[in-house]
Chain A
Amino acid sequence: MAIVGSRRPSPYGEAVAEQLGADLAKAGVVVISGLALGIDAAAHRGALVGGGVTIAVMGTGVDVVYPAGHSSLAEEIIAAGGALVSQFPDGTTPRRHNFPARNWTMAALSDLVVVVEAAEGSGALITAEAALHLHKEVLAVPGSVFSPLSVGTHGLIRDGAGLVQNARDVLAALGATQEVLDDPLAPPRSLGFAPPRGRDGILAHLSDVLALSAAEIARKLQLPVAEVLGRLTSLELDGAVRRHHDGYVRALRSGQKRA
């Protein structure tokens, strides 16, 4: 199955893609995505964290990693037994018009496409459209109604795409047997993460979806911003929180290192 979405997702979208990638990889599903920034990278990374196989369908020649910053991710994908595939000859540089074609290929290779965050006009919607043409199932992850990144996904749901809340929804759509459903996955849980435990009360005030600035947290807790900033930095050092744009979110997994 393919996971596609915005190249500049919210922390929420990134977390969802990573979690889906990981859980589906654990369940033995091959996760296909496009090696792009944002949702694509999160899906690949999640699949790698889940110890699974993931395939990157590239819009460039297989020898041209784009964006260049993803060369280590590409190496990890191969090292984990995955593949980089491309319909374009070696040496093809990134060209705007090649990417829609790549999106069709991605849809063709997959049995099912999950869209995680897509603004209006996003390339991920091309993949979804291709999937419908190719009679593949399309699912979408809902988001905040306030977020422009939800417009595309909510549109898909309105048009009849299945709604994804967790990996089980995807597995069910794939027609996985009950055994597979129950075995590798933990008891059903919502797409949230383990409640924060331990060291710092600040964690309880952080969301894993919406980035909060140090100032906002300080206001909530009635603490000096200097102190809050320091404590957040300490949590970040331990991998318990992450900085996203200009705010902080709770990290998906403790101690996880970001690429």
Chain B
Amino acid sequence: MLAAVDSCTLAGLDVRHVEVQADIAHGDTKFLLVGLAATAVKEARERVRSAIKNSGLQFPGQRLTVNLAPAELRKEGSRLDLPIAVAIALARAGKRPPPHTAFLGELALDGAVRHVDGVLVAALGLRKLGYERVFVPAANAAEAALVDGLVVTACGSLKAVVDHLVGVESIEPYVATGPGPELGVEPPEHDLAEVHGQEEGRRALEIAAAGGHHLLLSGPPGAGKTMLARCLPGILPPLELEEALEVAQVRSLLGELRGHSPLGWARPFRAPHHGVSAAGLIGGGSGLAQPGEISRSHHGVLFLDELAEFQAPVLQALRQPLETGRVSITRSGGSVSYPARFTLVAATNPCPCGWAGDPVRSCRCSPGAIDSYQRRLSGPLLDRIDLKVGVRRIKLETLASEPTGEGSAPVRERVVAARATQLARQGCLNAQLKPARLRQLAALEPASRRTLERWAEQRGLTARGFHRAWRVARTSADLDRAAQIAERHILEALGYRLQDVAA
């Protein structure tokens, strides 16, 4: 007796179809599991055997062979427990599974179906492969239900699933019950209204938010760099549905989607500590790489405080994702690619002691120490940051008074409008414009072009730096609701950079 059940395995965000075939034949009692199974899948034998017995179903007392096809594809994780058990049960019952249906889930020894990671990713992939119905653990039902056109069956136990399939007692399809995903604008955790002064930093933050530009804040300890950075999520628009799904996919892989409303509308804000490893930041791990902080910040903000304290190789690893918005990582188990289109906000002191350039306190670092501190930041990484702003300490007496700056709400309105303009014009944010499209969509008047070229020549701007300034100018013009980039926009864009202290 033979039965075949569909399931899938994940390699990053790639979903590969797996067919679980179970064959019960005459012979000695034996349970063979073949088809390039990794450790967790091999262990499925024991879980499945116990789960079937403890569900009150009979485990075949004959020669049982389970094959995971295609045989050359390596299978990871415990998602295949449920499909294996279902295939065995169906083979015994001589039944076929319903058409266009896939199964995912881990089994407990008592037959309960347990939560697995990556169900949203799997469900999206299965829908693309043409599946119409999925059986997933009850704890994952809400995330699977996010996928359009997919009927979700929430599985509580193996017994219930088998009863449903053999027609004893059917399970109703899952209907999202929790509070539906609403596009609510929650008040931001940190509001710009609480920031004293820092007009330059505020403006740079607004530009970064509007155009998706990367931002570096440099200043002495306690100047308010962190406060400014934490205000960024509050002036960004909520995620679009498409974006929210991408964010949720990464979280799904990490097993972070729980509860009834797995979709979040707030943009991610991640602030890894400077001790983070390259694997933690860009993704890694043994076998197949897991997403790292940069992928968790996808469509959101990655805040790196004390940038110079990060290990050099970790910072170097940021270069590719900063350019392409994706990261590809190869580990022993194969190569995976994750989205990583984030806005980088970095903060740094100007020197090891932090006080270089401060008008009152003097810096105690030797010029050599400052040089090596800044060299750690300099070059390729800094070249990829569009906006560099010095943040000064403000006077203590100012702190005692009420801040007079704008709150986050009006800034957010301007940002939303500027982003809408960009998306309507070019389908992406200015920071992601390729040079060819930049020339086409953000043409410069002769005077502006001359200014930019003059500056580039005088300061030895790289081609990348040249285009970055151009993109920032486009965003400045968009915030101005100007169709054409004016010279003042170019000049402003060129103003956002830091003088090296050891000039």
Contacts and interface: CB of A to CB of B under 8 A. Distances in A.
Contact of B200 (A8, A227, A229): A229
B197 A215 contact: yes
Contacts of A226: 203, 476, 488, 492
Nearest to B480: A226
A227 B360 CA distance: 28
A148 B454 contact: no
Interface in A206-246: 210-211, 213-215, 218-219, 224-227, 229-234, 237, 243-246
A37 B495 CA distance: 25
Nearest to A96: B366
Contacts of B200: 213-215, 225, 229
B238 interface: no
Contacts of B499: 243-246
Given A146-B360, A225-B199, A226-B203, A8 B503 contact: no
Contacts of B357: 211, 244-247
B151 interface: no
A110 B361 CA distance: 33
Contact of A213 (B202, B360, B390, B496): B390
Given A243-B499, A244-B499, A245-B356, A237 B199 contact: no
B468 to A, nearest CB: 15
Given A7-B367, A37-B367, A210 B359 contact: yes
Contacts of B476: 226
B440 interface: no
Nearest to A246: B390
B503 A246 contact: no
B241 interface: no
Given A7-B367, A225-B203, A243-B499, A230 B492 contact: yes
Interface in A167-205: none
Contact of A232 (B197, B495, B502): B495
B350 interface: yes
A14 to B, nearest CB: 10
Interface in A55-75: 67, 69
Given A211-B359, A215-B198, A245-B501, A237 B367 contact: no
Contacts of B489: 230
A229 B387 CA distance: 13
Nearest to B492: A230
A177 B494 CA distance: 50
Contact of A246 (B367, B392, B495): B392
B488 A119 contact: no
* Residue of A69, A215, A247 ringed by the most chain B CB atoms within 10 A: A215
B458 interface: yes
* Residue of A38, A149, A213, A218 ringed by the most chain B CB atoms within 10 A: A213
Contacts of B218: 246
A97 interface: no
A234 B489 CA distance: 11
Contacts of B198: 215
A158 interface: no
A234 B458 CA distance: 13
Interface string B340-353: 00000000001000
Interface in B231-248: none
Nearest to A69: B502
B467 to A, nearest CB: 18
A229 B392 contact: no
Interface string B319-356: 00000000000000000000000000000001000001
* Residue of A219, A230, A243 ringed by the most chain B CB atoms within 10 A: A230
B31 to A, nearest CB: 70
A7 B369 CA distance: 13
A33 B350 CA distance: 27
Interface of A: 7-8, 37-38, 67, 69, 119, 146, 148-149, 210-211, 213-215, 218-219, 224-227, 229-234, 237, 243-247, 258
Given A8-B501, A69-B502, A214-B495, 11 more contacts: A119-B362, A146-B360, A211-B357, A215-B392, A219-B199, A226-B203, A226-B488, A230-B489, A245-B350, A247-B392, A258-B503
Interface of B: 197-203, 218-219, 350, 356-357, 359-363, 367, 371, 390-392, 451, 454-455, 458, 476, 488-492, 494-496, 498-499, 501-503
| 3 shortest interchain CB distances as A-B pairs | A246-B390, A245-B357, A230-B491
